[in-house]
Amino acid sequence: MKVAIYSRGLDDRQQVPLLALINELHKHNVSIAISASLAEKYGNAMSSVQNIQVFSDYNLDNATDCLISLGGDGTILDAVTIVGNKNIPILGINFGRLGFLASIGKEELSIAVDALVNGTFVIDKRILIHMDADIPLFDNAPFALNEFGIHKRDTSPMIKIHTYLNGEFLNSYWADGLVVSTPTGSTGYSMSCNGPIVFPESSSFCITPVAPHNLNIRPIIVPDNNIISFEIEGRSEEFICTLDARKEIVGKSIQLAVKKENFTISLVRLNENSFLSTLRSKLTWGLDKRN
């Protein structure tokens, strides 16, 4: 078995659990590859472990059986761009705060490795959202696990976003921005803008305005077989286009559309970590302090 380990940044306190993970994998004779950033920071500490390989972003071996993401949910979003269409499952270990996607705690390292080696885990297939534009954007990763967004720049006035479903006019949003989220992303930025929570296996996108200047505008759920396109108006000549945590500054004349990506991402979870249990534990779903 070959396992890759990725993180976009760990502090010194997290060196101990990192080394514990590597030693746990080594005990099971797992072949290990680590990201270049981890190798640069912790290479000396890992020198006692033999045959650790190093990979750079977007250069992950197709033969990798699993990519372990160390960090928070943002680290998993980065890992998605590294894995792309290689069909390599991602296992998230929470070194961050919320850990909605990275739901496995540092104290569960040995349990996670045992599950990985013995195949006693569950794979969740998650859809991605793909962005098309009439100019090159986001290099070789024009897709996102959580959401696509259109936003006004800094302190510029609100923008007007004309939105179409398969070419048919849907609505014009006077707002600070617009978020199109996948079911996975429905518990992220969209939810903070009063969007609905959608089950991960739902075949849908949620279109959620950001600070709309209309009392009668609400989020809407649409089937994910739609192509959603946009035209932008505003006093500013530029706006911000986002895919998860990545952004591009583009002119308002650009042609943009989003659709379901033609491949999925596989997320590894332990059997007991269901979507509903994560809702209750991470978002305090249904919590009533009177009880």
Please check whether residue 144 is in contact with residue 129, taking contact to mean a CB–CB distance below 8 angstroms: yes
pLDDT of residue 169: 98
- Compare 266 and 105 and report the one with higher pLDDT: 266
pLDDT of residue 261: 98
Residues 6+ apart with CB under 8 A from 255: 133, 134, 229, 231
Please check whether residue 7 is in contact with residue 15, taking contact to mean a CB–CB distance below 8 angstroms: no
pLDDT score of 286 more than 80: no
Q: Alpha-carbon distance 26 to 207, whole Å?
A: 45
Q: Alpha-carbon distance 194 to 209, whole Å?
A: 9
Q: What is the mean pLDDT of the chain?
A: 90
pLDDT score of 48 more than 70: no
pLDDT in tens, 128-182: 999 999 999 998 899 999 999 999 988 778 999 999 999 999 999 999 999 999 9
Residues 6+ apart with CB under 8 A from 237: 251, 252
**Catalytic residue numbers, as ranges:** 73
pLDDT of residue 3: 94
Would you report the helix, strand and coil content of the chain in percent, each value rounded to 5?
20, 35, 45
pLDDT in tens, 65-118: 999 999 888 999 999 999 999 999 999 998 867 678 887 888 888 899 999 999
- Reading the block at residue 1, the tokens are 């078995």
Range of the domain at 84: 2-126+264-282
Residues 190, 228 within the same domain: yes
Domain count, the chain: 2
Asked whether residue 208 is domain-assigned, the answer is yes
Asked whether residue 187 is domain-assigned, the answer is yes
User: Phi first, then psi: what are they for 109, rounded to 5°?
Assistant: -55, -50
Residues 144, 121 within the same domain: no
pLDDT of residue 90: 96
Asked whether residue 103 is domain-assigned, the answer is yes
pLDDT of residue 10: 74
Residues 6, 98 within the same domain: yes
Asked whether residue 290 is domain-assigned, the answer is no
Please check whether residue 279 is in contact with residue 285, taking contact to mean a CB–CB distance below 8 angstroms: yes
pLDDT score of 226 more than 90: yes
pLDDT score of 221 more than 90: yes
Please check whether residue 209 is in contact with residue 178, taking contact to mean a CB–CB distance below 8 angstroms: yes
Classify residue 63 as exposed, middle or buried by CB count within 10 Å of its CB (0-12, 13-18, 19+): exposed
Classify residue 111 as exposed, middle or buried by CB count within 10 Å of its CB (0-12, 13-18, 19+): middle
pLDDT of residue 173: 96
| CATH code of the domain containing 273 | 3.40.50.10330
Among residues 178, 191, 187, the alpha carbon closest in space to that of 148 is found at 178
Task: Give percent of the chain with pLDDT exceeding 90.
Answer: 58
Give the mean model confidence (pLDDT) for residues 234-254.
Answer: 94
Asked whether residue 161 is domain-assigned, the answer is yes
Please check whether residue 177 is in contact with residue 168, taking contact to mean a CB–CB distance below 8 angstroms: no
pLDDT of residue 47: 63
Helix (H, G, I), strand (E, B) or coil at 137: coil
Give the mean model confidence (pLDDT) for residues 257-284.
Answer: 87
pTM (predicted TM-score): 0.91
